[in-house]
Structure 1
Amino acid sequence: MNGEEEFFDAVTGFDSDNSSGEFSEANQRVTGVIHVDTSKSNGIGKVGERPPQENGIQKHRTSLPAPMFTRSDFSVWSILKKCIGLELSKITMPIAFNEPLSFLQRITEYMEHVYLIHKASCQPQPLERMQSVAAFAVSAVASQWERTGKPFNPLLGETYELTREDLGFRFISEQVSHHPPISAFYSEGLHQDFLFHGSIYPKLKFWGKSVEAEPRGTITLELLKHNEAYTWTNPTCCVHNVIIGKLWIEQYGTVEIVNHRTGDKCVLHFKPCGLFGKELHKVEGYIQDKNKKKLFMIYGKWTECLWGLDPAAYESFKKQERRTDSLRKTKLDDCPEKADGDVVDAVPEAQETVQMYNFTSFTVSLNELETGMEKILAPTDCRLRPDIRGMENGNMDLASQEKERLEEKQREARRERAREEAEWQTRWFHRGSNPYTGTPDWLYVGGYFERDFSGCPDIY
């Protein structure tokens, strides 16, 4: 690494050159800045710019058709008081809880900072590649900050595809199971530099004041040039104050990223908030080799940035940080607004962003449907779902009616299969084992991008 600084920029916001003027540079939201400093300083430095896009790349929309539906007139407790301790995937929730995206589109947000994968593929050393992969794994949850809306549950057989030539990838996902709900996805680099795939089946539970999403399923990243595969599982996500107060989100738990070729491992601890919010958003961890020798230390916040140091410099930095925290705590204790442990936003919000469900610019583009696009999409693509489309357009009554209709159509299809003693047949994925961990997984069978959609189920 030769002591050089390395910047992993994951700045996400609405384009400052937006011709409509709806979003200004001052109002951009930072949802994940990854800065890994390999020098022996404390890692504080200037945030780099996102790599510039090439001229002529297709522009994507920068706003939604209608602002977010306000939930102020809705009795949350009247619904949730019957759900304490239950798995929310088995409960029909009012549309007021939702954001206008399918969970399949939410999964696609993993690809927002795909350039970190491209960067990892270009790194010559395994330690450098692991740093970029760790940055990518953390950036995948950064977009969830202040995203308190629930994505629509995918219908069985629902799909979503996304090709971004400007970002160098294409992506396909399918809802392969309804009970339990399992979403499988597959992505590949357009320059044959990576494969990214996995299956996700989060367990959602309501605990009176919070909703917890426990991750299940393995995420796999293959860097083809280096013949390396990395696997990990996301941290637990929890939404607090669902009954009263300001909604806020924390991620907690341990994420282990394993390089199956070298035996290197990155261990990241997403800290629980703590009594006074001192640990809110914090991430700490390290990279170790196959002999468990620590090679690199990582710390920061999953909402803001990650920093990295070699182990010796990190110990010195932590001692200095503890002294600084002691002084800072004395000051905060004198502030009435902090004494009760209220959570304070790490980055000021733009009002326009709040009205767009706190979506990033990448997320805003996920459900856009250009004229004629419906003719080339699979008929199961969630861009064609009328309930999500209705909510995005601000027609909540239509969205609710369509949601009920689609759910009843799904139930009737399930009853029909039961009468005929027929099993559901997935189209683009099959049940199998992860080739690197041996755990149950859903694997892409190929063929989607050849665009033969004959035989796709009628789910809408």
Structure 2
Amino acid sequence: MLSEFAEIQGQLRVFCEERSTLLDTLRQLEAANFETEPSVTHDNDYQVLKHPFSSSECEKYTVFSTTESSDEIDKQEVEEVSDEEISFFDTHESFHELTISDDSMTVESHMNVLAESAEQLNNKEDSFREPLPLDVERRTKLPDPLEKEKSVSLWSMIKDNVGKDLTRVCLPVYFNEPISSLQKCCEDMEYSYLLDKAYEYGKVGDSLQRILNVAAFAVSGYASSEGRHCKPFNPLLGETYEADFPDKGIRFFSEKVSHHPTIIACHCEGKGWKFWGDSNLRTKFWGRSIQLDPVGVLTLEFDDGEIFQWSKVTTSIYNLILGKLYCDHHGTMHIRGNRQFSSRLRFKEQSILDRNPHQVDGFIEDASGKKVASIYGKWDDCLHYACIDGAGKECRTSNDSSLLWRLNSPPVNVTRYNLTSFAITLNEITPGLQEKLPPTDSRFRPDQRHLENGEYEKANLEKQRLERRQRMSRKLQECGWKPRWFQKESENGPYRYVGGYWESREDKRWDGCQDIFGEFNEDAAVS
């Protein structure tokens, strides 16, 4: 037992020393003004060892995008997750497979030594949150509005649309925030450093820490929704958005690939991983609330071939008529892995008298179904985790749990839209960017730009004009229109990035990309 602890401790120390040496080398390269090109992974076909993810199975997984009303989830929730069952205790991943000997004091002392080494490794991993020097300085606030905003009642706009799909209801621009749904999709990448950590943990064989960080990433995408009461702009058919963040080491791209139903596809490349998916929101208005049910599967693939897939949970917006508007996310998220671990997370629905809302709890289980770690926290604040011993013992105490993820600080310049610091940068056209973008990029959308500048009358007129143009989209689809950068893997499968966007950007060659925001002949469009 002692030799095993000593060996693991030695491995941790060697890894920390190697990481420190690597960071020193990177700093020296940056000081010498060397430029390194980001590595672009190839879309090679992968083989899933234990849980094959075929296109047909992707359709089955969409049931997890709704609430716990699914028969499978209801059954498993009764068997696996009761209200009293999720309790927690602290240890580190390295301990969960160890057998406790009779000499408990000796084992405990060596556990403490190893825990200190693991903590040093976590401190090294925190370096992922420290960005590299920025190529350009990002803005920290939106432009000051040029006009005074009008007060419009949301109820007066939607009272005649009870039970309808609100994606087809035209609302004035006053109910929008100055980003598109394509850019909103990119907000999920704010905490992409969690995937960087997951990749590094997997490289050293720490599969449990990998799935824990993947689970934290899946939850972190909801953090930006707190206090956001305006809807993003519905993109035009063929509209695109790109985000290149050298400081984060990611390149994100999205495109609206279908108008009816509205489907957005995205693809992101990071440090040792790729992330992609498509999303279709089924929206219903029930008088006092709006329900948003996402349909689609998100896929994360690491360079070593490990894959995770999950779907988003239901989102509801309450108090449309009276009271304070608030947003809540509820349901069960099942993160399926193709190797050793998977995760099940429950987003607890907020009740009227709930004094501790936004709760998330769940667990990590191995391939045999054995629970090895528990997760708990709030989707708008932080997440903690604790490992579970062989006897299934859990303890939820502050001294016995480890921080997994925490919300970034709010921006200094708070906007009326409650955008995060990351979201404030998404619609910005930085110096030298405009000539690189295709004419389909969301940053060129005039109604959205006018709204950002506080030119509300111009924004409303442009929104009406573009909505008239949008009505052409159904006809275009019926005539065989196809997305430029994505295609379906099969008839009922998800959309996948076909490549070529960043190469076209480098060459500034946008053949086949129309000026979808420009003027058009309505009479010609009708004929």
1:215 to 294, 297, 310: 294
Asked if 1:234 corresponds to 2:294, the answer is no
1:99 to 1:404, Cα distance in 2 relative to 1, 3 A: same
8 Å contact kept, 1:430–1:445? yes
SS in 2 for 1:291: coil
> In the aligned structure 2, how far is the partner of 1:446 from the partner of 1:405?
32
Paired amino acid for 2:516 = I
Structure 1: unaligned runs, 5 residues or longer: 5-35, 322-345
Q: Could you say which residue in structure 2 is the equivalent of 1:270?
A: 347
| Residues 373-452 of structure 1: pairs in structure 2 closer than 5 A | 373-412=433-472, 414-415=474-475, 417=476, 422-433=479-490, 440-451=493-504, 452=509
- Deviation, 1:375, is 1.8
CA distance in 2, matches of 1:119, 1:149: 33
> Contact conserved, 2:149 with 2:456, CA < 8 A, in 1?
no
Question: Which structure is higher in helix share?
Answer: 2
Deviations 1:298-353 (A, max 9, x none): 111111111111235995535x89xxxxxxxxxxxxxxxxxxxxxxxx99988942
Q: Distance in 2 between the 1:88 and 1:181 partners?
A: 12
Aligned to 1:327: none
Question: Taking structure 1 as reference, are residues 368 and 88 closer, same or farther at Cα in structure 2, changes over 3 Å only?
Answer: same
Which residue of 209, 216, 222 maps to 1:135? 216
How far apart, in 2, do the equivalents of 1:368 and 1:54 lie?
20
Counting only pairs closer than 5 Å after superposition, residues 83-122 of structure 1 correspond to structure 2 as 83-122=161-200
The residue matched to 1:457 in structure 2 has which SS? Answer: coil
Q: Are the aligned partners of 2:255 and 2:265 in contact in 1 as well (CA < 8 Å)? A: yes
Q: 1:365 maps to what in 2?
A: 425
1:280/1:291 CA distance change after superposition, 3 Å: same
Code of the residue aligned with 1:367 in structure 2: it is: N
TM-score, normalization by structure 1: 0.78
TM-score by length of 2: 0.68
Indicate which of 242, 245, 254 corresponds to 2:323: 245
Paired residue type of 1:410: Q
Matches within 5 A, 1:156-235: 156-189=237-270, 191=271, 193-224=272-303, 226-235=304-313
2:64 aligned residue: none
Rounded Cα–Cα distance in structure 2 between residues aligned with 1:188 and 1:272: 33
What SS class does the counterpart of residue 220 from structure 1 fall into? strand
Indicate conservation of the 8 Å contact 1:171/1:187, yes or no.
yes
Q: 1-side partners of 2:346 and 2:367: how far apart?
A: 19
CA–CA separation in structure 2 for the residues paired with 1:178 and 1:64: 30
| Kept in 2: contact 1:374–1:384 (CA 8 A) | no
Offset, 1:373: 2.6
Tell me by how many angstroms 1:49 deviates. 8.4
**Equivalent pair of 1:297/1:314 in contact (CA under 8 Å):** no
How far is 1:148 from its partner? 1.2
Alignment of 1:10-89 (within 5 A): 38-39=91-92, 51-66=129-144, 73-89=151-167
Query: Shift of the alpha carbon at 1:52?
Result: 2.1
Distance in 1 of aligned mates of 2:317 and 2:127 = 31
1:65-123 CA-to-partner distances (Å, cap 9, x unmatched) read 13599877212221111111111111111111110000000000111111111100000
In 2, Cα distance between the equivalents of 1:242 and 1:381? Answer: 32
Structure 2 match to 1:302: 379
- 5+ long unaligned stretches in structure 2: 13-88, 96-110, 112-118, 399-406, 518-527
Give the Cα separation in 1 of the matches to 2:148 and 2:381: 27
Give % identity: 40
Q: Aligned partners of 1:209, 1:138: CA distance in 2, in Å?
A: 26
3-state SS in 2 of match to 1:306 = strand
Distance 1:70 1:255 in 2: 42
- Following TM superposition, by how much is the alpha carbon of 1:414 offset from its aligned partner in structure 2, in angstroms? 4.4
- In the alignment, what sits opposite 1:29? none
The change in CA–CA distance for 1:210 and 1:258 in structure 2 (over 3 A counts) is same
For 2:378 and 2:148, locate their aligned partners in 1 and report how far apart those are by CA, in whole Å: 29
Give the CA deviation at 1:378. Answer: 0.8
- Whole-angstrom distance in 2 between the partners of 1:90 and 1:229: 35
Residues 1:281 and 2:358 aligned together:
yes
| Structure 1 residue 280, shift from structure 2 partner | 1.3
Distance 1:439 1:188 in 2: 25
Q: Quick one: structure 1 residues 117 and 316, their matched pair in 2 at CA, closer, same or farther if it must change by over 3 Å?
A: closer
Residue 247 of structure 1: CA displacement? Answer: 1.3
Q: Aligned-pair distance for 1:141?
A: 1.1
Cα RMSD after superposing both structures: 3.1
SS in 1 for 2:383: strand
- Greater Rg, structure 1 or structure 2? 2
Equivalent position of 1:335 in the other structure: none
Bigger mean CA deviation after superposition, 380-389 or 231-240: 231-240
Q: CA offsets, 1:236-260, max 9 Å, x none?
A: 1111112222111111000011111
1:374-409 Cα deviation digits (max 9, x unpaired): 221011000000000000000011111101111112
Secondary structure of the structure 2 residue equivalent to 1:238: strand
- Counterpart in the other structure of 2:17: none
Give SS of 1:202's match: strand
Alpha-carbon distance between aligned partners in 1 of 2:240 and 2:446, rounded to the nearest angstrom: 14
**Equivalent AA in structure 1 for residue 448 of structure 2:** I
In the alignment, is the contact (CA less than 8 A) between 1:64 and 1:356 conserved in 2? no
Structure 1 counterpart of 2:338, from 257, 260, 266: 260
Aligned to 1:126: 207
- Displacement of 1:212 in angstroms is 1.4
Partner letter of residue 243 of structure 2?
L
The amino acid that maps onto 2:512 is G
Q: Is the 8 A contact 1:235 1:255 kept in 2?
A: yes
Mapped partners of 1:94, 1:245: distance in 2? 22
Alignment CA distance shift 1:210-1:439 (3 Å) = same
Distance 2:222 2:206 in 1: 26
Conserved 8 A contact 2:136-2:430: no
